[in-house]
Structure 1
Amino acid sequence: MNHDSPAALRQSDVLDPARAQAFLTALGRDDEVSAGDALLPFFHQLYFWDAQLPSALGRDGHPKVGGIIPDMGLPRRMWAGGQLEFFSPLCAGELATKNTTLKAATTKQGRTGPLAFVTLCHEVTQGGKVCVRESQDLVYREDPDPTVPMPAVPMARTDEMFAETWSFDSTLLFRYSALTFNGHRIHYDLDYARDVEGYGGLVVHGPLLAQLLMLIAERQLGTLKRFTFRAVSPLMHIETATLCWARDGTCWVRGPDGRQIMTAKAE
């Protein structure tokens, strides 16, 4: 159920326990999720699908811009980062509502061409109270120009207190795309990712990396109240990543060549 206003979107969904359990299974965990259980932080990403007719999709598989996200003439979309506040756990098997509003849409000239920045605000409510508040940052850019050199990527820290090593094959990327109803072709269509958007492989979802960092943070902190993350460079499905945690609540993703993939802060 959606509002008519292009600057607002309201969606309601019953938070199916089977979907949360399927995601945990895809991550290699054998947790059981039943109605009434508290969902893990950021699991609201599995719900509130924005299903559109094929005619309403752009070339990249996402819904066409021009609705809640304005069309600023740039074709390549990336999830650049986000800020989340967790007030109380969402409950599996119960109705919840997500209200989305457009906070900002701006353009600027970057080192490799024009960029458009979009910020969406999401509030997820259940039982009459706000459980999650999220600010989602998207960036749009031009198609790649092979004659323009890519900017240098900073190297990641190596002083972590704890780390996990993760590999991301095409099956995991497909399953995460399916569970989140994310049609973005860079995550499952290798020809499109390489030939149209200029990547070296399938792109690992930014929110999947953020989700894994949040699961580490919750284990370390006990309860996760706030989480902020920023994508620095894309990770390909053929690469192994190291997910790192430091004692002060900072966490990050390091690529196999040492480059910074994502930075984050948990509280």
Structure 2
Amino acid sequence: MPDPRDPSIRTDRIDPERAAAMHATFALTGSPPGPGDLLPPFWHWCQFWDIHPPGALGRDGHPRPGLALPDTGLPRRMWAGGRLEWHAPLRIGAPAERRSRVLSTTRKAGRSGPLAFVTLRHEIFSEDGLAVTEEQDIVYREDPRPGDATPQPGPAPRDETARESHRFDGTALFRYSALTFNGHRIHYDIDYCREVEGYPGLVVHGPILAQLMIRMAGRMLPRLARFSFRAASPVFHTETFETCARPEGTGLALWVRGPDGRLAMTATASPTPGDPA
């Protein structure tokens, strides 16, 4: 049995109020799910808060390097992607436990300077056993220097069979940050975005983009079993963007397209083996 004093272990109750808040944040129609209902895929992001006092936070609002994640020596944190597998349902109102560990830390030379990649693995258990496995890829890089050219992302595909338009303004980003207890200032502090990180606007959370694609995949596949995504370029609070999908094998290829046609994120989704297409 795991040691409950281990900081890599978080216990929580799948809270119906947070589920209702997630439902409202994404402007979903109908009644939100309640106690006893299944937690929709990826909604575990509003559970298992990593809580640290202000003195333990870095300049960007995240826990200071060396606490929750290794200190890579690079100041800018970005979401690079992740992989999820759903094994069994989580029920709203029921207890759950998340066990976490760092899988790897690697350094690479990028076009804009050194990069460090940290991969974190979470396993979420219900009373019946393993429910969700998630791996998160986080990249760290140097601050932008005056005069540095901004890398230009490539164009997104245009062969989708399904497409939806979305916009997340500053209020929606703030609400999602509060719901997930994410203090990263790139999502709500416009001055920090422009003056420190070099972004033209507030950055839409990578997990928001992933959540929108997961919702699309959930409507197009009989039962969602696996989902993998990778960020390509940021989306900002001033932009209307599109989530797109097309069939690929027994699953789906998905992506996020910016208003200028740029590729912002790619993903693949797979159904439970043996399910009909």
Same fold (TM over 0.5): yes
Does structure 1 residue 94 correspond to structure 2 residue 94?
Answer: yes
Does structure 1 residue 184 correspond to structure 2 residue 184?
Answer: yes
Please tell me the residue identity of whatever aligns with 1:164.
Answer: E
Q: CA deviation at 1:109?
A: 1.2
Q: CA deviation at 1:31?
A: 2.8
Please tell me the residue identity of whatever aligns with 1:174.
Answer: F
Query: Pairwise mapping of residues 26-65 of structure 1 onto structure 2 (< 5 A)?
Result: 26-29=25-28, 30-65=30-65
Q: CA deviation at 1:37?
A: 0.5
Q: CA deviation at 1:170?
A: 0.5
Aligned to 1:257: 260
Q: What is the TM-score normalised by the length of structure 1?
A: 0.96
Query: Pairwise mapping of residues 1-267 of structure 1 onto structure 2 (< 5 A)?
Result: 2-3=5-6, 9-29=8-28, 30-248=30-248, 249-267=252-270
Task: Give ranges in structure 2 of 5+ residues lacking alignment.
Answer: 271-277
Q: Is the 8 A contact 1:82 1:137 kept in 2?
A: yes
Q: CA deviation at 1:147?
A: 1.8
Root mean square deviation, CA, Å? 1.0
Q: What SS is found at the alignment partner of 1:214? A: helix
Residue by residue, what CA displacement relative to the aligned partner does 1:54-98 show, whole Å, maximum 9, x if unpaired?
Answer: 000000000011024111111110110000001112110011000
Q: CA deviation at 1:128?
A: 3.8
Q: CA deviation at 1:106?
A: 1.1
Q: What SS is found at the alignment partner of 1:225? A: strand
Q: Is the 8 A contact 1:165 1:242 kept in 2?
A: yes
Task: Give ranges in structure 1 of 5+ residues lacking alignment.
Answer: none
Q: CA deviation at 1:2?
A: 4.9
Q: Is the 8 A contact 2:19 2:34 kept in 1?
A: no
Partner Cα separation in structure 1 for residue 59 and residue 118 of structure 2 = 19
Residue by residue, what CA displacement relative to the aligned partner does 1:175-229 show, whole Å, maximum 9, x if unpaired?
Answer: 1001000000000000001111000100000011000100110011031100000
Q: Is the 8 A contact 1:121 1:135 kept in 2?
A: yes
Residue by residue, what CA displacement relative to the aligned partner does 1:9-42 show, whole Å, maximum 9, x if unpaired?
Answer: 1000001111111111121113322111001101
Q: Is the 8 A contact 1:49 1:180 kept in 2?
A: yes
Q: CA deviation at 1:148?
A: 1.9
Partner Cα separation in structure 1 for residue 107 and residue 141 of structure 2 = 10
Q: What SS is found at the alignment partner of 1:217? A: helix
**Aligned length in residues:** 263
Q: What is the TM-score normalised by the length of structure 2?
A: 0.93
Partner Cα separation in structure 2 for residue 181 and residue 149 of structure 1 = 33
Partner Cα separation in structure 2 for residue 110 and residue 125 of structure 1 = 37
